[in-house]
Amino acid sequence: MSDGIRVFAGDCTTTFAGDPPREQRGDVVVVIKPDDTVLVHDCDGYQPVAWLTRPEMLAYDGTSTGEFSLVAIDGDSRLRVVANDRYGLARYPASVAGAPVGTCPDCDGALVRADGAVTCLDCEARYGLPAGADVLDDRCEACGLPTMRAERGRAFTLCIDRECESLDDEVKDAFDRAWDCPDCDGDLRVIRQGGLLVGCDEYPDCETAFSFPTGVVDGECGCGLPEFVTDSGQRCLDATCERAG
């Protein structure tokens, strides 16, 4: 999942060449995250006194003799930290932090939801979630993972592991060829192309295609296409339709 978080504590001189440039010295804690983000914290408040997020380049040197230094560069921003005195240097395990959603059936590790996925903190298994999906308390009877509720035309309840149960397959079974193309005599097919779409089966002669909304079908738009109830309100399958609602 990561190479761990590196933590250094000491009397450091921190120089930041950016907007605005500044130099600071004090007893601080330097945190280096696995994505190379650098945070320099002093004793006050929650905000670092200096930081650089995911820099393009990071050079780091921590030795057993007490020396410590790093240089992080991102575009025109340059962060340099040099230790005048060292109090401690260590590396600790690190993972994503998210809302607990159960126990991994493979290793009994904790499952958490964060960054659009469910991840095991122990074995690092990761299950990406569809946009707008809710993770449920129930477990999949086949594999033991949590189930989810996802709205794509109607509400589907299925396993979070797409290899176990596929949301695409469920949507295709329910809505493939369910609607007529508004621009020709073709049928609208459910397809995966970048995202989940409904596109005319007469392609390439007809290039009509619409993104499949996150919501539930609720009636028909004045244009003849289905209308969806979404978190942002009622909308036509065609997001540009002026006759929706």
| Domain region containing 126 | 99-163
- Say whether 175 sits in a helix, a strand or coil: helix
Query: For position 55, which CATH number holds?
Result: 2.70.180.20
Q: Are residues 16 and 79 in the same domain?
A: yes
Q: Is residue 107 part of a domain?
A: yes
Q: Is residue 241 part of a domain?
A: no
Q: SS3 sequence, 90-143?
A: EEECCCCCCEEEEECCCCCCEEEEECCEEEECCCCCEEECCCCCEEEEEECCCC
Residue 235: alpha-carbon gap to chain centroid? 26
Q: What is the pTM of this model?
A: 0.78
Q: Is residue 205 part of a domain?
A: yes
Residue 152 contacts residue 214 (beta carbons within 8 Å): yes
Q: Is residue 227 part of a domain?
A: yes
Last residue of a domain, one of 57, 92, 127: 92
Chain segment 15-66, per-residue pLDDT in tens: 999 777 889 999 999 999 999 999 999 999 999 999 999 999 999 887 656 6
Residue 112 contacts residue 100 (beta carbons within 8 Å): yes
Last residue of a domain, one of 163, 185, 217: 163
Q: Is residue 144 part of a domain?
A: yes
Chain segment 176-225, per-residue pLDDT in tens: 999 999 999 999 999 998 899 999 999 999 999 999 999 999 999 999 99
Q: What is the DSSP letter of 169?
A: H
Chain segment 109-126, per-residue pLDDT in tens: 999 999 899 999 998 899
Q: Is residue 243 part of a domain?
A: no
Q: Are residues 64 and 11 in the same domain?
A: yes
